[in-house]
Amino acid sequence: MKTIDDLLDKKIELLGITLRVVEVLFFAVMLGLGLSMRIALFEYESGDYHYFLSVWMQECHDAGGIGYLGIEPFSSSRSTINYGCMYQYIIILLHYLQGLMTDIALLKSVSVIFDVVCAVTIMRIAYLVTGEDVKKALISFGAVMVLPTVVLNSSAWTQCDSIYVSFMLLSLLHLMKGNGNRTFIYLTLAYSFKQQAIFLIPLLIILWLMGKVKLRYILWFPVVIFITIIPALLAGRKLSELLSIYGEQVNTYTYLTMNYPSIYSVVSEGLKENNRKMIISAGTMATVMVLGVIAFYIRDKKVEVTNEFIITLAIFTIEVCLFILPVMHERYGYFPEILAVVYGVTRYKRMVVCAFLQVISVITYSRFLFGSMVTVIWPLAIGLFMVIMFLGYDLKLQMDSKEVRNA
């Protein structure tokens, strides 16, 4: 028996974290169970897959794979993809793997791989934030592997939010480590997959105002973006077209909320389009103003910028953006929902934030995926507002307790 105990207590180095064998076994079990949950949902076909993703895969097959890259979207019926070319590269790669699995299974497999990347990166962030607490880091890994919204996003919805969020988490990890180059390289890679990566920008601006981020690293944005579109340029696509993809996406929808429980969920859905457009413009400016007030307040506080402070500020600023910005989709809360796991393990009473965000998002996910009977979401907006107020109050407490006052 002592021999077994000695074996279980033997130490192994994994991703810069020293783990005992028993902890490695826990990691493996959580990984296996998490993957099993996802595989069980692989046959489920969402509306997004039926109307968009399956169509893009078929267009790629019809174009012979690599030829799909050179077709300008919407210039003909041969290409209707409205995602950036980085995701198109993945679709083209999957074309050459057809036969191994069905198209839907291939697409979901990519997202599931990045689910694991998200979970491992969260483990590394939690290890850093909690002062190298291995148990809390492993609990964070297991939590992400089982979070309902993470599982549903990749395995039921066939969405790819785990891809861009993986790079956002890596960006945040290296921000806390003080590596400016990797922070902005990973953030730009996240942006190249989904424009929702810009939700991390308010955090970086505030930290820059506090002297914790160097402005010169922003030069990585044009460099990395240009590198990512080189294959598409070589295939014959126009530079102007490749750089305007996100602009076209922004102008696609005029609904005040896309199933997200924001402040606009209390506004009547019967508003005319012209009125909605005016509210969208005003709401966007209001978001900038609110973030400006937050930045102005924090800028003059002589605060010790701890990793715990960074995590709290990141979740708070992103949730503020999502709550006040119009035209928000329910999936846009994916990043702060994952990050809330780390926030929760720092002090377990904070886990209520993680739980609230999951309940809110599972309800909104279910409305789209499974035809939930929930017909109104304004009560969820009240719940989300309470979460934001809790985060803001906690942020103030952290600033007050860690403020460095002049002698």
pLDDT, one tens digit per residue, over 2-11 is 676 666 667 7
Give the span between the Cα atoms of 99 and 106, in whole angstroms.
10
Q: Choose among 287, 292, 329, 19: nearest CA to 194.
A: 329
Give the span between the Cα atoms of 366 and 96, in whole angstroms.
33
The two three-digit tokens of residue 217, written as one number = 């690293």
Mean pLDDT of the chain: 92
Q: What is the pLDDT of residues 326-381, one digit of tens each?
A: 999 999 999 999 999 999 999 888 999 999 999 999 999 999 898 877 888 999 99
State residue 269's pLDDT score: 65
CB atoms within 10 A of CB 126: 29
Q: Is the pLDDT of residue 301 over 60?
A: yes
Q: What is the mean pLDDT of residues 115-134?
A: 96
Q: 80-84, 90-94, 368-372, 373-377: which has the highest mean pLDDT?
A: 90-94
Please list, in sequence order, all residues whose beta carbon lies within 8 angstroms of the beta carbon of residue 338, skipping any fewer than 6 positions away: 118, 122, 144, 147, 150, 165, 169
Domain boundaries defined on the chain: 2-398
pTM tops 0.85, yes or no: yes
Q: Choose among 248, 251, 280, 258: nearest CA to 332.
A: 258
The two three-digit tokens of residue 167, written as one number = 């790079």
Give the span between the Cα atoms of 341 and 398, in whole angstroms.
18
Q: Choose among 151, 148, 173: nearest CA to 162.
A: 151
Please list, in sequence order, all residues whose beta carbon lies within 8 angstroms of the beta carbon of residue 262, skipping any fewer than 6 positions away: 256, 322, 323, 324, 325, 326, 328, 381, 384
